[in-house]
């Protein structure tokens, strides 16, 4: 949540509206900070025959997510509220479980990332809907982030999709189940 009630906000919004937007954005800031750390964790812990492809695919997206973190934090500050970017703030504000895979195959990590992205994107869309009537500038920022996040989610899912269009993680209800399903469906055991 926001660290303080703003004494000012951007022209055209009330302080209460600025505070509401900042609270929504703080939750997104926590999620994006968590995502970039999770992606680096995957980058360091992925193994198997497709290691280099996944290892190198992850870093450019980490850079994009870090840029989203900065953009989101600066928007919170622009709204007159102090953004919280500390590890404790991420953990305290988290509404999801920590990423549970350590050293694992490319398919397992990609399956788990599919679940991570589904939850992140659903929450980003909820934020976009909550922001839509308050501030088009903030909404535009969230829509731009959604565009990039959905693109990377497609990159992840392309590794999990059969030639018939079926996702190996379809129906998985958890990160662990998605990792197992992706591993089991792999053409080659990696």
- The 10s digit of each residue's pLDDT in 55-76 is 999 999 999 999 999 999 999 9
Total domains in the chain come to 1
Rg (CA), the chain: 18
Confidence of residue 8 (pLDDT cuts 50, 70, 90): confident
Is 84 a domain residue? Answer: yes
Q: Which residue has the tokens 């990696």?
A: 190
DSSP letter at 11? T
Is 6 a domain residue? Answer: no
Is 1 a domain residue? Answer: no
Is 57 a domain residue? Answer: yes
- The 10s digit of each residue's pLDDT in 21-45 is 999 999 999 999 999 999 999 999 9
CATH number at residue 104: 1.20.1260.10
Is 5 a domain residue? Answer: no
User: pTM, whole model, 2 decimals?
Assistant: 0.92
- Residue 35 sits in which domain range? 15-185
Is 26 a domain residue? Answer: yes
Q: Of 33, 18, 138, which is closest to residue 81 (Cα–Cα)?
A: 18
């Amino acid at each position: 949540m926001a660290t303080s009630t703003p004494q000012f906000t951007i022209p055209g919004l009330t302080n209460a509206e600025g505070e509401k937007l900042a609270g929504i954005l703080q939750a997104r800031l926590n999620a994006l900070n968590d995502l970039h750390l999770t992606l680096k964790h995957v980058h360091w812990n992925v193994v198997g025959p497709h290691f280099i492809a996944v290892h190198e695919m992850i870093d450019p997206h980490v850079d994009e997510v870090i840029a989203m973190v900065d953009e989101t934090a600066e928007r919170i500050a622009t709204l007159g509220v102090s953004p919280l970017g500390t590890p404790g703030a991420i953990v305290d504000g988290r509404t999801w479980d920590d990423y549970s895979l350590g050293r694992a195959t490319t398919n397992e990590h990609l399956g788990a990332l599919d679940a991570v992205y589904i939850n992140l994107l659903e929450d980003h869309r909820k934020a976009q809907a909550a922001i839509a009537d308050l501030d088009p500038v903030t909404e535009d920022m969230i829509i731009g982030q959604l565009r990039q996040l959905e693109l990377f989610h497609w990159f992840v899912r392309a590794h999990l999709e059969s030639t018939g269009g079926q996702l190996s993680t379809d129906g998985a209800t958890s990160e662990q189940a998605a990792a197992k399903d992706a591993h089991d469906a792999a053409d080659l055991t990696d």
